[in-house]
């Protein structure tokens, strides 16, 4: 007797889906016909063993039914209304072989890969990783489609048909990526660096090690879900933190620029109560009392989202708001995000309910319990000591002068050039961006100027010392200058990769000089990105002259050091 599977997609008609399942169950039982069910979204997924032992799958209703799992089975499609109207006729057609035949083999044997790339700022690494995957796919003869999740959202979004037809899904991201649409597909996850460094090797590894994605959806991971690939595990807490930072940045940028514009229009007292009703006061209210208030909740909420998917957002944001109210700032927000994320994930994996009550978990049980645990932990355990630590850190940073400012500038600036967008670079950047929410804006100046210096210094070196570079490198120098002006440190990566032992120390030296001069000259920056393009904005940068001096000095140091260290190349 044929073994039958049924996948029912209810969409907005969840009640109809349940009724269809019960009708099929009753009719199959009356025929002694073995049948196993999966209701999407949210139901218990069919096991791999069940799929392997089945002959036919009945696809009922609409929505994402993760059909790619059943390429070896005979597939039949029916509407929910057909099942509810005459379930026996449906079973007769399926069991008599009148249903759809298995999907026809593809006319070509080319491997099909769909991919997503994403980095915390959504700029350079996102697109460099995409280019690495596309170039590797072309060289290996694979069909590759890449969706980039950048700073302005997804570009070239993958379609449902493309995902269904793909052999594997590849995620190269330094932030959390929603996997709900990849249920039932083989998936491999890694970092953007792997795609940039060795695209061909990554594709080979992904095809060999991709694992079946749970069919319950990303929002409801189960304890028996396949283990994530080792490459993704290694990212650990860093990846979760970077996800929070990537969602936090738009609030920092918008709030900082609006506050700067408020000061530009209304002077230093633009937000004083006496100026209520003016445009400057309104801009200040939007920036300081709306956008900036949401910085820490966004950071905490999306750290928790990276850990626990959707169930983590609400408790994370509530914990972040408590951190703000308790004066625990971004440090408290980070703590709240991790507490909320791991709490929500633990509860989601260990609370088991009858299938008819599963719908209560995401809307009632998980938000309530995870928010309760997170809130109590913030109020009674974390908030006070973290607030004291942040107050001490803030006081020290605001009081920096002389040797302390010099040392901090050297460290922050140098960190930006060590790995140009890697973990060390991002650690310095994330720390400086988060400090903006506490009113500490000097470290951001050292970080941005230190990050602009490597590509600008390399670009200058290609002009001052042309014999140290090949013809293609000299041509790439112009592009590096543009990227450096826009604060995209990654523009220097190709030059560092070609000669790391000489180029990286030269870039670290220049960036450290830029950062040190910036802090000793009292340069501050209210926005976390923009490069040279933020300098003309009134009050976005304090001491513009000092900023320019720091940037020029750092660029010269890098260029001269590169010229002295690199050997003459064959022209």
On average, the pLDDT of the chain sits at 81
- pLDDT at residue 427 in the model: 79
Look at 381 and 11; give whichever has higher pLDDT: 381
Q: What is the pTM of this model?
A: 0.62
C-alpha to C-alpha distance for 412 and 449, rounded to whole angstroms? 10
Regarding beta strands 56-61 and 143-150, do their DSSP bridges make them parallel or antiparallel, or are they unpaired?
A: unpaired
Mean pLDDT on 432-460: 88
Check: CB of residue 213 under 8 Å from CB of residue 193.
Answer: no
360-381 mean pLDDT = 91
Average pLDDT over residues 413-435: 81
Respond yes or no: is residue 119 known to be catalytic: yes
By three-state DSSP, how is residue 76 classified? Answer: strand
- Indicate the pLDDT class of residue 233, thresholds 50, 70 and 90: very low
Q: What is the pLDDT of residues 542-559, one digit of tens each?
A: 889 999 999 999 999 999
For the CA atoms of 162, 163, 164, 168, the dihedral, rounded to the nearest 10 degrees, stands at 120
Q: In the predicted model, is pLDDT for residue 61 greater than 90? A: no
Note the pLDDT of residue 518: 92
Give the per-residue pLDDT at 235.
52
In this predicted structure, the answer to whether residue 285 has a pLDDT above a threshold of 80 is yes
pLDDT score of 57: 83
The catalytic residue among 23, 39, 65, 119 is 119
The share of the chain scoring above pLDDT 70, in percent, equals 87
Of 53-67, 214-228, 249-263, 495-509, which has the strongest mean pLDDT? Answer: 495-509
- The region of weakest confidence among 188-192, 232-236, 532-536, 558-562 is 232-236
Residue tagged 């976005």 (tokens):
540
pLDDT at 280 over 80: yes
Question: What confidence tier does 262 reach under pLDDT thresholds 50, 70, 90?
Answer: confident
81-99: b (≥16 Cβ within 10 Å) or e: ebbeeebeebbeebbeeeb
For residue 38, name the pLDDT band (cuts at 50, 70, 90). confident
Structure-block tokens of residue 88: 């026996």
């Amino acid at each position: 007797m044929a073994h039958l599977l049924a996948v029912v997609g209810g969409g907005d008609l969840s009640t109809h889906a349940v009724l269809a399942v019960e009708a099929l169950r009753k009719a199959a039982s009356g025929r002694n016909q073995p049948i196993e069910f999966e209701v999407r979204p949210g139901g218990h997924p069919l096991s791999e063993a069940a799929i392997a032992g089945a002959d036919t799958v009945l696809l009922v209703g609409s929505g994402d039914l993760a059909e790619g799992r059943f390429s070896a089975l005979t597939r039949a499609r029916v509407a929910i209304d057909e099942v509810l109207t005459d379930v026996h006729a449906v079973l007769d057609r399926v069991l008599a072989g009148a249903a759809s035949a298995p999907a026809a083999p593809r006319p070509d044997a080319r491997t099909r890969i769909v991919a997503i790339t994403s980095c915390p700022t959504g700029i350079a690494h996102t697109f460099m990783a995409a280019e690495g995957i596309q170039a590797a796919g072309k060289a290996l003869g694979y069909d590759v489609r890449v969706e980039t999740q950048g700073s302005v959202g997804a570009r070239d979004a993958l379609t449902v048909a493309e995902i269904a037809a793909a052999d594997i899904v590849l995620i190269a991201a330094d932030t959390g990526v929603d996997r709900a649409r990849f249920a039932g597909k083989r998936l491999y996850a890694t970092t953007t660096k792997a795609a940039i460094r060795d695209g061909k090797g990554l594709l080979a590894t992904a095809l060999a090690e991709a694992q079946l994605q749970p069919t319950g959806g990303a929002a409801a991971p189960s304890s028996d879900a396949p283990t994530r690939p080792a490459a993704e595990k290694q990212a650990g807490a860093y990846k979760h933190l970077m996800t929070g930072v990537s969602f936090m940045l738009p609030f920092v940028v918008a709030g900082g620029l609006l506050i700067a514009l408020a000061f530009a229009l209304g002077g230093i007292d633009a937000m004083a109560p006496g100026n209520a009703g003016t445009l400057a006061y309104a801009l200040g209210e939007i920036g300081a009392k709306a956008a900036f208030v949401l910085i820490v909740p966004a950071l905490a909420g999306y750290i928790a989202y990276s850990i626990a998917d959707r169930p983590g957002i609400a408790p994370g944001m509530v914990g972040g708001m408590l951190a703000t109210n308790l004066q625990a700032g971004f440090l408290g927000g980070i703590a709240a995000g991790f507490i909320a994320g791991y709490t929500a994930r633990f509860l989601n994996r260990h609370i088991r309910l009858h299938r008819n009550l599963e719908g209560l978990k995401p809307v009632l049980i998980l938000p309530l319990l995870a928010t309760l645990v997170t809130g109590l932990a913030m109020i009674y355990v974390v908030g006070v000591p973290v607030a004291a630590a942040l107050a001490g850190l803030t006081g020290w940073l605001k009081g920096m002068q002389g040797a302390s400012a010099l040392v901090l500038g050297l460290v922050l600036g140098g960190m930006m050039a060590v790995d140009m967008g890697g973990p060390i670079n991002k650690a310095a950047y994330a720390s400086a961006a988060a400090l903006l929410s506490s009113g500490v804006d000097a470290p951001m100046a050292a970080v941005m100027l230190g990050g602009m210096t490597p590509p600008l210094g390399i670009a200058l070196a290609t002009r001052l010392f042309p014999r140290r570079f090949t013809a293609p490198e000299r041509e790439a120098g112009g592009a590096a200058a543009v990227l450096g002006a826009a604060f995209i440190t990654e523009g220097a990566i190709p030059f560092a990769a070609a000669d790391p032992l000489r180029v990286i120390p030269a870039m670290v030296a220049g960036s450290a000089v830029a950062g040190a001069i910036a802090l000793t000259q009292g340069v501050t920056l209210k926005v976390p990105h923009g490069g040279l393009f933020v300098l003309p904005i009134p009050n976005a940068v304090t001491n513009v002259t000092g900023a320019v001096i720091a940037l020029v000095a750092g660029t010269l140091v890098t260029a001269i050091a590169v010229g002295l260290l690199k050997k003459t190349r064959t022209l």
